[in-house]
Structure 1
Amino acid sequence: MSSPGITVSTGSTRATFLAAYSAVTLAQMTNALPGALNGTFAAEFHTSGAGLTWIAGIFMTGVVVFELSWGLLGDLFGRRRLLYAGAGLTAVGSVLAALAPTTGAMIAAQAVGGIGAGILFPISLSMIAALTPDPRARARVIATWAGFLSLGAVISPVLSGLTSSVFTVPGSEPGDPNVFSGWRVAYYIAAGVGVLVLIAATRAKDSAAPVERRLDLPGQATLALGLIAVLYATVQAVDAGFGAAEVIAAYIAGGILLVLFVIIEQRSAQPLIHLSLFRNRAYSITGIVAVTGMFAFLAICYSTSVAVGGLALAETWKVGVLFVFIQGPAFLFIPVVGWLIHHVAPRWVLTGGFALMAVSGYWLSTFSLGTPEEFGGTSWTAFIPPLLLLGIGFALTVGSVTAVAINTVEAHNIGMASATTNLLRDLGFALGPVLGSVIAFGIGATAFAVPLAGILGGAGLPEDAVAGLSQVPPLGFLSGWPDVISQFSGSALAGGAPQPAVDGMVQSLTTLQPQIQGAAGTSLGQGFQAVYLTAGIAATVSAFLTLFISGRSSSEPSAASESKSTEADAAV
């Protein structure tokens, strides 16, 4: 039996559900893996602030820019084919990540994996929804789907922590793409899960909904390229500054493309997004909240990963434990949130969740960051209470935001409202690490300039040497000290300095290393304090705005509305 208007092929129902649940677990596993590993990436790849941001942000970019098209392609050409493609791309991306020797290779691997996961999220949901036409049965299986998604988010930090601690090959060199050790094992395991999904999908039922629709290629192209250009400009500004020519050019190109997207959508008979939805004030507010609220969540997650793993130098397993407290409530509270949405006005659930996230951000902004615990820095265990509040807030908001959105529109717009809200929510996820990096590394560089000049000037280094080293961002001194020394030596020799003089300056810098790195860590700590504060403000604004949303809510929704709203809640 299938939903009206949907064709379903022969195959195993059990295999279909197994493939769908495994697929969404895989997608969320690969999405969450970098969360506990940013400190490791900074140390191993000697990456810049922009590089670290791309590793964290490019995955969600792949999800965001195409997610409105994958569902339609599955409807037209069959969802099992799309599941094959998504699982295959995710597995390939995971293997490439495991083998990555450099920051650029890791970014490319994340991009491939993000496109694969972007397929798996909507297709796995639509496969099981197609087999459950009864609204209440569909509500149960979609709630289970959401549980497996949350399970993937819980598995990732544990997996990254365990593999980093247990799978270590003695004598292996950092960055060696051929070693089967450390954090790389987590990506090999993810690739193995991808293969299992492919195997399960071979016996799954295929489904399609050959509706009279066609892909909005002009809209998809301008949206994708516009968002990528804007995100590229913002990430490049982390290192190059907002005045750099490539940053300005990318912003201009992105702005033009997004304006073209709006024009195309207004004139299209079958638009990617019905812009008329935003004429509804309540829905517009919900769209804003979806972006700002999820930005706050991911900004806190990203800051915690870098501050604890990269600046405080905590072991990866400790960062993994912290992320369990962040992601765990979303898995444990599934029945609670489902009950609240159907018995309490969803906007109150949403307001309460954002309020908890705001408290978390403000609380974390008071922590002293940038100094390892062994040298008097904040203990990693102190992060547990505020991050648990963050996790509970996220559990209350991640599904409720769509439930509130669809309660503000007419019944015939529920499907598009759900899809558009999911897009905006995922855009907020993508902006978390991107804008968080701009704030943290920008403030960190400004705060670092004065103490660095004092340290270098007091050592008696030549003015040109001081000027050259002042251009190095604070993260460079922390994660790439050997590279800094090598580039400094090369520049000094190329400028005509004799070898003995260069050797003397290098010796002076080596002696100053603890002071320079201490100042760099403290300065970046101030930057991430500002990110926490910004996230708290964004969550506060989100909680306040939801108070002005008026929409339909009922403890006994109609069958059609219940089916749609539950499906939307799960599509995270």
Structure 2
Amino acid sequence: MDTDTTNSPACHPWLVLAALCSGLFMAMLDNLVVGTALPSIGDRLHTGTAGLQWVVEAYGLVYAALLLTGGALGDRWGRRPVYLAGLGLFTAGSAGCALATGLGELIGGRAVQGLGAALLTPGSLAILRQVFPEDRERARAIGIWSGVSGSGLAIGPALGGPLVSHFGWAGVFWINVPVGAAGLALAARVLPRLPRTAGAHLDLAGQVTGAAGLGALVYALVEGPVRGWSAPLVLGAAALALLALSAFTVVELRAPAPMLDVRVLTHRITGTAAWAGFTASFGFFGLGVFLTLYLQNVLGLSPARAGWAMLPATVATGVTAVTAGRLCARHGPRLPLAAGLTLIATGLAFLTGYGAGARYPEFAWLMPVLGAGLGLTFTPISIAVLGAVPPARAGMAAAMVNTFREVGGVAGVAVLGAIVTTRAPAMSGTTTPEAARAFVAGLHGAVLAGAGCVGLAAVMVLALMRAPRDGKPGAPLMGRGATTTPRR
């Protein structure tokens, strides 16, 4: 039997939220802070672009590959211990990165950070699902949770520069150590001991095939634009991804307690929400890389000014994520989600009106539009999915949502990058007018493709996420292996 109660009745839910937000803030802050340190890392560790690329990719590859595993382990072993293990690993990985004296050590530390984040992120949402059993309070809590995520992204570019200037590249990793230690101490004290799924095995076949398939897929998407889509390593990774994910689907359909209930993806509410998360990340994060190139290589902004130019988008994400939680508490997730997707699609489409001769103040208004769209999107997605599954499967559902977002962002960079490079093969050093115009033409084609995908997702949300005619949410989506037992 499912239950929303905990074994720690004295625990204050909003104090639990504060503990979870501290770990999430650290993980989100790390995403963009590391980018500001890459030039310094290259100089100190004597590595080129390929090495620096893996400093970024090692985290994303491990994170995407193991998110589903992290959610499943939390459902089966208990979310509190798995969350604490994830936060501890992320903190230890940060210290390892800061102490690295070579590229291999740094990449290894980033992989440990990715593993910690894969355990930490789905567990965080799953704990919220049970600590806030009432729909309205849970919607507000998820809005705050998402707002903290956006705040971490917003502060990253502004904080990274001073950290590198005063403490060197290791400073962007050292900052995580005291924050992580404090968050770990708080979480160990306030997180309740939640129910876990009873009688479920580890689904080793699902974990192996899922991790292999997602890891190979992310590798192919990341390396395709660099090595070429016909390169043997890329084709091999794509083939492995197809085979492993096909095997994963077969395994999960037959497993008595699957780590991912496939019915969650075919359900009209949860499946549509997962697709919306994929497309939002596809359009927004796919744009991010190439918009930075446009600001620096075409418009001539310095790296610091280009970072500040993106700040209104990330600040708007944090602010509107909190507002989205309140809107969902009153009106449900469907309309806020559709509005957010529409804002992203509109912002992407309007970017095509600015070319090589534009100035940033002319289109600066689009930055908060895009950021607000993202904030209005991610909060309703989490609310919709967590509200449609029983508490015992909340970790699995949270992991699914984050996996779709992560893969969507990687796919956006790969696919939109391929569109850009068809017009401008040399994506750096676009200083001549001809090269600038070619790059802008490719960028316009890419953002139109992204706008089309996101706009289609908005239509799907409006059409498929309608509430039943009686106005009641209906029974939650029950998966196999959904029973729980209190931890002893």
- TM-score, scaled relative to structure 2: 0.80
1:85 aligns with: 85
Q: Is the CA contact 2:213–2:245 (under 8 Å) kept in the aligned structure 1? A: yes
Tell me, yes or no, if structure 1 residue 120 matches structure 2 residue 120: yes
Measured after TM superposition, the shift of residue 341 of structure 1 is 2.3
How far does the alpha carbon of each residue in 1:52-95 deviate from its partner, in whole angstroms, 9 at most, with x for none? 66555543443332223323433444444333432233234434
8 Å CA contact 1:15, 1:200 repeated in 2: no
User: How many Å separate the matches in 1 of 2:460 and 2:78?
Assistant: 40
SS in 2 for 1:291: helix
Contact 1:303–1:532 (CA under 8 A) maintained in structure 2: no
Q: Is the 8 A contact 1:15 1:203 kept in 2?
A: no
Equivalents in 1 of 2:471, 2:341: separation in Å? 25
Query: How far does residue 295 in structure 1 lie from its aligned partner after superposition?
Result: 0.8
Change (3 A) 1:333 1:243: closer
Partner of 2:451 in structure 1? 536
Residue 464 (structure 1) aligns with:
none
Matched, 1:247 2:227: no
Distance 1:367 1:99 in 2: 44
Counterpart mapping for 1:3-18 below 5 A: 4=4, 6-8=6-8, 16-18=16-18
1:45-194 equivalences in 2 (<5 Å): 47-48=48-49, 54-98=54-98, 107-127=107-127, 130-132=130-132, 137-164=137-164, 167=165, 180-181=167-168, 184-194=170-180
Aligned position for 1:215:
202
Residues 140-191 of structure 1: CA deviation (Å, up to 9, x unaligned): 5444333332322222122124435xx25xxxxxxxxxxx32x543332233
Which of the residues 402, 405, 411 maps onto 1:431? Answer: 411
Alpha-carbon distance, 1:11 to partner:
8.4
SS in 2 for 1:198: helix
In the alignment, the residues of structure 1 paired with residue 136 and residue 459 of structure 2 have an alpha-carbon distance, to the nearest angstrom, of 33
Question: Residue 219 of structure 1: CA displacement?
Answer: 0.9
In structure 2, the gaps of 5 or more residues are: 477-488
Query: Which stretch has the larger CA shift, 95-104 or 253-262?
Result: 95-104
Kept in 2: contact 1:365–1:529 (CA 8 A): yes
Aligned equivalents of 1:16, 1:4: Cα separation in 2: 15
What residue number does 1:567 align with?
none
1:264, distance to aligned residue in structure 2 (A): 0.7
Instruction: Report what 2:374 is aligned to.
Output: 394
| Aligned-partner residue type, residue 542 of structure 1 | A
In structure 2, what is the Cα distance between the partners aligned to 1:531 and 1:106? Answer: 33
2:321/2:379 contact within 8 Å kept: no
**Percent pairwise identity:** 24
Q: Deviations over 1:389-432 (max 9, x none)?
A: 1001111111223445578x687998465653443233213323
Partner Cα distance (1:559, 1:314) in 2: 52
Q: Distance in 1 between matches of 2:171 and 2:358?
A: 30
1:270 aligns with 2:261: no
Deviates more, 1:521-530 or 1:378-387: 521-530
User: Residue 238 of structure 1 aligns with which residue?
Assistant: 225
Counting only pairs closer than 5 Å after superposition, residues 244-393 of structure 1 correspond to structure 2 as 244-280=231-267, 284-309=271-296, 314-344=301-331, 346-368=333-355, 378-393=358-373
Q: Which runs of 5 or more residues in structure 1 are unaligned?
A: 169-179, 370-376, 449-473, 479-513, 562-572
SS in 2 for 1:333: helix
- Call closer, same or farther: CA 1:315–1:187 in 2, change over 3 Å: farther
Distance 1:79 1:24 in 2: 15
Note the C-alpha offset of 1:117. Answer: 1.9
Determine the C-alpha separation between the residues in 1 that align with 2:77 and 2:390.
27
- The 2-side partners of 1:435 and 1:304 are apart by 15
User: 189, 199, 202: which one pairs with 1:203?
Assistant: 189
Deviation at 1:303, TM superposition (A): 2.1
Check whether the contact 1:161–1:320 (CA below 8 A) recurs between aligned residues.
no
Separation (CA, whole Å) in 2 of partners of 1:204 and 1:339: 25
Between Structure 1 and Structure 2, whose CA radius of gyration is higher? 1
Distance 1:151 1:284, change over 3 A: closer
Structure-2 separation of matches of 1:38 and 1:547: 42
Q: 1:323 to 1:194 in 2, by over 3 A?
A: farther
The root-mean-square deviation of aligned C-alpha atoms, in Å, is 4.0
Write the distance in 2 (CA, Å) between the matches of 1:42 and 1:388.
32
Kindly tell me the number of residue pairs found equivalent between the two proteins: 472
C-alpha distance in 1 between matches for 2:228 and 2:160: 33
**CA–CA separation in structure 1 for the residues paired with 2:76 and 2:66:** 16
Question: Is the Cα contact below 8 Å between 1:406 and 1:418 reproduced in 2?
Answer: yes
State the one-letter code of the partner of 1:243.
Answer: S
Paired with 2:158 and 2:403, the residues of 1 have a C-alpha distance of 28
**Structure 1 residues 244 and 32: CA distance shift in structure 2, 3 A:** same
- Distance apart, 1:353 and its partner CA: 1.7
Write the distance in 2 (CA, Å) between the matches of 1:210 and 1:550: 29
Partner residue, 2:486: none
Distance apart, 1:23 and its partner CA? 0.8
- Offset at 1:330? 2.6
Q: Decide whether the 8 Å contact of 2:72 with 2:259 is kept in 1.
A: no
Q: What is the CA–CA distance in structure 2 between the aligned matches of 1:553 and 1:38, rounded to whole Å?
A: 51
